[in-house]
Structure 1
Amino acid sequence: MITQIKQLLKQKNAVLVAHYYVSGDLQDLAQETGGIVSDSLEMARFGQNCDADTIIVAGVKFMGETAKILSPEKRVLVLDEQATCSLDEDCPIEEFSKFCDAHPDRKVVVYANTSAAVKARADWVVTSGSALTVVKHLHENGEKILWAPDKHLGRYVQNKTDADMLLWQGACVVHERFKADALSALKVKHPEACILVHPESPQAVVELADVVGSTTALINAVKDRDEQTFIVATDNGIFHKMHQVAPSKTLLEAPTMGEGADCESCAHCEWMAMNSLEKLLSVLQTGENEIKIDKNTSQQAQHSIQKLLDFTEK
């Protein structure tokens, strides 16, 4: 199957871009065939800057949309069009537009985990790695902010910047499951461990962290820090890349479930798990699951994303 996929990628001048949370075989295949494994915005930027005619996104739907927004002239395919994101689903454009209209004095800042339509309604699109810098900049310029969709990331940014932020009440189904009391108990068992937390996690979990950061920042922490043991509070798909960059280090999953649960940690996105080699082969053979966005929405969303790209390149 992998041989077939590699042949078809070449034949169709297609590139595979994969998120850190999909299965290890898809991540390895993306790297072996000249693609990339990264977070959603870097996946889209890679697709924009490469010579491929077709970008195949192993991730979830909003990632395919982001890739299409930055590469409107290219064909963008996702492995499963039903693979979505709770943050995206929790922020429907009709309700979000009403929320924005009710607060016209605020700059609208949305997280990358949103639909193309929500990005088009925003003034800024940010990532978990850039949210603090952008909001700090806006706050220092006297702006009040309307933030969506992740309430935990929003609260983290608000606490760090003291910005005037009105928060949409969305949450990631994976990160919201992490339990502070169980994490504290695990730390007692492993006092030498460094706790790594994604800021989409609840505030009580974030407060226990030694490092709070984006997927890329957490991978770099495992690679660069001196500790040999890490407790990781994010989707366990990230362990594949962490093991690659630091094969000698011990990685423990942060607890998501309380006593009596079937698993101590169930930290894996069910939609990310919908991506597979079989679906990749099918998409290459059929051209199905193509992402299409109307021109006006795409252009407005691109403007919001480009603001971030220009800002972070300064």
Structure 2
Amino acid sequence: MTSTVSKSIAFDYPQQNAAGATCTAQAWAKTPPQLHGTEKAAVIARIKQLLIEKDAALVAHYYVDGDIQDLAIETGGFVSDSLEMARFGKNHPAKNLIVAGVRFMGESAKILSPEKRVFMPDLEATCSLDLGCEASDFAAFRAMHPDRTVVVYANTSAAVKAQADWMVTSSCALAIVHQLKLEGKKILWAPDRHLGRYIQEQTGADMLLWNGACIVHDEFKAVELEMLMAAHPDAMVLVHPESPQAVVDLADVVGSTSAMIKAVVEGTATEYIVATDNGILHRMRQLAPNKVLIEAPSAGNSATCKSCAHCPWMAMNGLQGILNCLENASGEIFIDEPVRVKALGCIDRMLDFTKNHPDLLAQAQHGFVKNIGVA
């Protein structure tokens, strides 16, 4: 088998400290070796064999490479958004979990399943939201507002989740914050400011927002989207709520990855402009082969194209990395038990809410998908 050196690429991400000051820090990602032909087929066959021998299940996010998504489905694993990944990993009987995504997803799987060994193709695959919300800075920020209920997005480290009352994903955040608002709670929200602003606008909740952003969704620009819409006037526009307000305001559907897929599958439009990580297009094309999918631009004169609509850290997941997990037990996730136990509370609270209040998740007026409900 040939050996290829990974290519490193630098990316910028916004970061805020506890005092509210922002700076530009630098993150990096590397693209894994690309496999082709007989070499690729051999690696896939070996992975399938070892998943059985090692009593392992492969869980993949919609944003990772299409070959990995297909492999997860073919082997009885799962492809989903972060909420369903958390549920699947907790409920699957396998002793070992391979999580193809970014580090917070692997940590969440370990938090929920401490008895299992959890591995990732590359432990350095992280997230700009996670990087931009360091645990000690967040602790200081939280200490300044002790009267607020702490709600953190899934895209955070285990150490940040350990400080939270609730963890949410984009599938359930709106319903949970709406319920907290009805209970008279004031919210301290972290880390994505765009998602936080959207939820605040929709619910009217009293929310104090951390200043973080996803480098993929933050790059979508209204001016380019408007030009694309003019060229495709009958297309339905799907936007993730991690995007800037001007982009969200142009959307027909604002929703999580699952909600966007549901909108394409169940929608009556022929064309769909998709403003999220382009990794999702692979699954959309499989589930709705008769629909025309148009990738929303994150380039153009008003964008820096740090992401070009694909998360650089999601791109670090490769077939060879999965094979290394199975052959060499590389990329294992470890979390200190006191941190894990504290973080477990906020995740279990979310899972219990979504299980016990499906009616709240399905209310269109409080949901992400217009006339469909939360997926």
Q: TM-score, normalised by structure 1?
A: 0.98
After superposition, the C-alpha distances for 1:284-303 in whole angstroms (9 at most, x for unaligned) are: 11001110011111111111
Distance 1:190 1:41 in 2: 32
Residue number in structure 2 paired with 1:227? 269
Aligned partner of 1:198 among 240, 243, 248: 240
Q: Aligned residue pairs: how many?
A: 314
User: Is the Cα contact below 8 Å between 2:83 and 2:171 reproduced in 1?
Assistant: no
* Deviation of the 1:262 alpha carbon: 9.8
3-state DSSP class of the match of 2:162?
A: helix
Unaligned runs of 5+ residues in structure 2 are: 1-42, 357-375
* Deviation of the 1:44 alpha carbon: 2.2
Whether 2:290 is the aligned partner of 1:251: answer no
Residue number in structure 1 paired with 2:260? 218
Distance 1:30 1:56 in 2: 10
Say which structure is richer in helix.
1
3-state DSSP class of the match of 2:238?
A: strand
Distance 2:86 2:174 in 1: 21
Residue number in structure 2 paired with 1:91? 133
User: Is the Cα contact below 8 Å between 2:221 and 2:303 reproduced in 1?
Assistant: no
Residue number in structure 1 paired with 2:251? 209
Whether 2:355 is the aligned partner of 1:290: answer no
User: Is the Cα contact below 8 Å between 2:119 and 2:329 reproduced in 1?
Assistant: yes
* Deviation of the 1:259 alpha carbon: 3.3
Aligned partner of 1:304 among 333, 342, 346: 346
User: Is the Cα contact below 8 Å between 1:41 and 1:66 reproduced in 2?
Assistant: no
Unaligned runs of 5+ residues in structure 1 are: none
Whether 2:70 is the aligned partner of 1:28: answer yes
Distance 2:302 2:272 in 1: 25
Identical counterparts, % of pairs: 62
After superposition, the C-alpha distances for 1:162-208 in whole angstroms (9 at most, x for unaligned) are: 11100000000000000001101110000000000000000000000
* Deviation of the 1:257 alpha carbon: 1.5
Distance 1:194 1:100 in 2: 40
Residue number in structure 2 paired with 1:168? 210
Whether 2:188 is the aligned partner of 1:159: answer no
Residue number in structure 1 paired with 2:367? none
User: Is the Cα contact below 8 Å between 2:219 and 2:304 reproduced in 1?
Assistant: no
User: Is the Cα contact below 8 Å between 2:62 and 2:279 reproduced in 1?
Assistant: yes
Distance 1:50 1:272 in 2: 23
Residue number in structure 2 paired with 1:127? 169
Distance 1:36 1:288 in 2: 21
User: Is the Cα contact below 8 Å between 2:221 and 2:302 reproduced in 1?
Assistant: no
Residue number in structure 2 paired with 1:270? 312
Q: TM-score, normalised by structure 2?
A: 0.82
Distance 1:79 1:115 in 2: 18
Q: What value does the CA root-mean-square deviation take over the aligned residues? A: 1.4
* Deviation of the 1:237 alpha carbon: 0.1
Deviates more, 1:279-288 or 1:104-113: 279-288
Distance 1:209 1:279 in 2: 37
After superposition, the C-alpha distances for 1:127-183 in whole angstroms (9 at most, x for unaligned) are: 101111111111111110000000000000000011110000000000000000110
Structure 2 counterpart of 1:114, one-letter code: T
- Runs of 4+ aligned residues of structure 1 deviating over 3 Å after TM superposition are 259-263
Structure 2 counterpart of 1:98, one-letter code: A
User: Is the Cα contact below 8 Å between 1:146 and 1:165 reproduced in 2?
Assistant: yes
After superposition, the C-alpha distances for 1:89-113 in whole angstroms (9 at most, x for unaligned) are: 0000000000111000000000001
Distance 1:235 1:209 in 2: 16
Distance 1:141 1:262 in 2: 42
Whether 2:93 is the aligned partner of 1:51: answer yes
Distance 1:41 1:179 in 2: 27
3-state DSSP class of the match of 2:294?
A: strand
Residue number in structure 1 paired with 2:160? 118
